[in-house]
Structure 1
Amino acid sequence: MNATVLNAPVDMADLPMQHPRAPASAAQARARFFNSGNAFNVKLPEVPARLFSAPPEDRFGVFDCDQSRALECGFAATTPLMLARYVRIAARDALLPLDVGATGSVWYVIAGSGRLSGGADGFAFGTGDVFLLPGARGYRLEAGAQDLLLWTVGNEPQLAFERAQPAPLAQATIDAVHYTAEEIERQFALIFASGTRDDTSGRALIFSSDRQAAARNLTPTLTLSFNTLQPHTHQRTHRHNSAAVTLVVQGEDCHSVVGDAQCPWAPWATLVTPPGAPHSHHNAGSQGARFLIVQDGGLHYHARTMGFEFLEGVA
């Protein structure tokens, strides 16, 4: 055998993690070293595409759309940076305390009415309302005369990953914001009375606030859009680097295609679209469809990595 081959150096990628030779302090002893051959081959589980159902009507409490086992992370997560939940409260009962361990969380009132108090500005809310809460402890959610069902998404996993805490309310980057169903319908009317261009991504209402208006986001890292789909149409196949968590609000005979999987819609189901996955939404029914989408898009907009592109031409 050729001696040159016998004496060939170890491939850089096969070198094990390196330690300092003679650390003189505890701080030096903590150092670890990799190289450009083995530092970038970390394999993490992919984000599963999945449908979660709303909890049965006779079950009350907080229900996480949790994929932490599949993601191999030690905290509840729907995607690596977002956690979706359903919250059901019995009539005239209350959820206390409600701690929002996120920079901010968006809430959609699926059914019922109630009142929010504690933590930030208090207000009454009803079916079809959307509201945004900054991270804080001690919120109180109280149901009205009927059972209350809510859907919420926050960036708890993003903070848990770094073991970080939300900023105190006085230093938070967002405030409590309340978007009433009546105002949402008024905004939809404006949108549907307007024209579109070929490169417009459907007719959708984008939520923001006075403090986030420059970035057109809901929070510094999350975006929220209320998408629509006319009967017998579909949203063209597209992709983006943000993950998406989608609530089915309205639609019959509708489905989404994520990668190669067809995902039939069900009332108030939550659909998880993995980052970068080609996907499309289809409405074969006779009424317009609506679906509420939360993405970690603010993070990608800031990093200039959104990567939105259509994968299908205009019909």
Structure 2
Amino acid sequence: MAAIDLTTTQPAADAELFDPTVAAPPVVDVAEYGFEGRLDALAEDWSADARYWEYSKAANPIGAGLTTEVPAVAFPAALHSGGETRVVPLDLSGPLRIAGGPATSPALLANFVRINRGDRLAVDVDATSQLYYVMYGRGTSVVGGRVARWEKGDFVVLPAVGEVVHHADADTVMYWVHDEPLLRYLGVVPAGPRFKPTKFSRERAVAELTAIAEAPGANAKNRVSVLLNNAEQDQTLTVTHVLWAMFGLLPVGQIQRPHRHQSVALDLILDCKPGCYSLLGDRLDERGEIVDPVRVDWEPGGAFVTPPGKWHAHHNESGAPAHLIPIQDAGLQTYLRSLDIRFTDRR
């Protein structure tokens, strides 16, 4: 193989600029930068942290184990049952090798929030997107000098607003997901709100889901669900520019066929009877079934993580309908054109 020539050929008119016999350039006045002296004499060596890898050894750091995979983990309802007013982070920062704070996925943190009757809870995170789902209870929140009421089944979606103070009129548990881990990784803080605070009421969400479930051919669809969308997100059709949220029904006896996407799903189970579960795996067989699946049994009030790129299918063998709310960073993934959602075409 011929030697690689890294020299640069310059036009003849500029040759003297690169002639080592030419005298050094004049001293540059650098007082405007806050120091004195020659610019070249002040130059530092910034090469200490430079690394070089042969492509095949570094192209897949996940496969090499340098970037850890997102684990499929379930979080039980016992985490939020009883006890004092508190925030319970569903923290996987350890296995994800994420420094600086808790995280459930590389971009998102899910939490159970318990507020006992008569208590107040103040939270303040550097996040551009926050979603609260009221699992049960009722109360009010003070957000940027404004007040909003909420009750069981409501979704409250907030932009970057600073401190939020929740007041509970009854024992309350909420599922709270935000994108602070993403901003922490980027080393940034929000410059301001990207959308208006928005409430999706239980009454309207249930009515929309009922209409979809009762429409002809509903059970033939891969999903019986309502996608939540903020008016500002007219390109991604998501609940914020980062978050995607679905209010879904898994009818009696139905199997939601395998599908996959590159966003991590943080799934909350609202209600179900024993016999509801998800199967997860890396590939499909010739019949479109998941090969060697891992089974995750559903629990009312529990949550679990569906890793990106995993084929997964939801089964209801319980004899009763079940409801779930998956929340993902699919708003961001859709904007980046990297979501890559796929459904099996085999039955």
Aligned partner of 1:47 in structure 2 is 70
Structure 1 unmatched ranges of 5 or more: 1-21
What TM-score do the two structures reach when normalised by structure 2?
Answer: 0.78
Partner Cα separation in structure 2 for residue 277 and residue 176 of structure 1: 33
272, 282, 305: which is aligned to 1:272? 305
Partner Cα separation in structure 1 for residue 296 and residue 145 of structure 2: 38
Tell me how large the CA RMSD over aligned residues is: 2.3
Q: Is the 8 A contact 1:102 1:135 kept in 2?
A: yes
Q: Is the 8 A contact 2:271 2:299 kept in 1?
A: no
- Report deviation, 1:283: 0.6
Letter in 2 for 1:138: E
64, 85, 97: which is aligned to 2:111? 85
Does the alignment pair 1:288 with 2:321?
A: yes
Aligned partner of 2:207 in structure 1 is 186
> Which has the larger displacement, 299-308 or 108-117?
299-308
Partner Cα separation in structure 2 for residue 138 and residue 121 of structure 1: 12
Aligned partner of 2:151 in structure 1 is 126
Q: Report SS of the residue matched to 1:100.
A: coil
80, 84, 98: which is aligned to 1:73? 98
Q: Report SS of the residue matched to 2:190.
A: coil
Q: Report SS of the residue matched to 1:122.
A: strand
> Which has the larger displacement, 194-203 or 233-242?
194-203
What TM-score do the two structures reach when normalised by structure 1?
Answer: 0.85
Partner Cα separation in structure 2 for residue 198 and residue 128 of structure 1: 24
- Report deviation, 1:189: 2.6
121, 139, 150: which is aligned to 2:174? 150
Aligned partner of 1:109 in structure 2 is 134
- Report deviation, 1:198: 9.5
1:152–1:93 Cα change, 3 Å: same
41, 52, 55: which is aligned to 1:34? 52
Does the alignment pair 1:238 with 2:267?
A: no
Partner Cα separation in structure 2 for residue 116 and residue 294 of structure 1: 22
- Report deviation, 1:36: 4.8
Structure 2 unmatched ranges of 5 or more: 1-39, 282-292
Q: Report SS of the residue matched to 2:124.
A: strand
Partner Cα separation in structure 1 for residue 307 and residue 261 of structure 2: 9
Per-residue CA deviations over 1:279-314 (Å, capped at 9, x if unaligned) read: 111111222111001111112212222221123623
Whose radius of gyration is greater, 1 or 2?
2
Does the alignment pair 1:224 with 2:245?
A: yes
Q: Report SS of the residue matched to 2:141.
A: strand
Aligned partner of 1:257 in structure 2 is 279
Partner Cα separation in structure 1 for residue 146 and residue 45 of structure 2: 45
Aligned partner of 1:301 in structure 2 is 334
Q: How many pairs are equivalent?
A: 289
Partner Cα separation in structure 1 for residue 301 and residue 264 of structure 2: 19
1:115–1:198 Cα change, 3 Å: closer
1:70–1:231 Cα change, 3 Å: same
Does the alignment pair 1:164 with 2:183?
A: no
- Report deviation, 1:192: 2.2
Aligned partner of 1:13 in structure 2 is none
1:118–1:274 Cα change, 3 Å: same
Partner Cα separation in structure 1 for residue 345 and residue 252 of structure 2: 19
- Report deviation, 1:30: 6.2
- Report deviation, 1:137: 1.9
Partner Cα separation in structure 2 for residue 160 and residue 203 of structure 1: 35
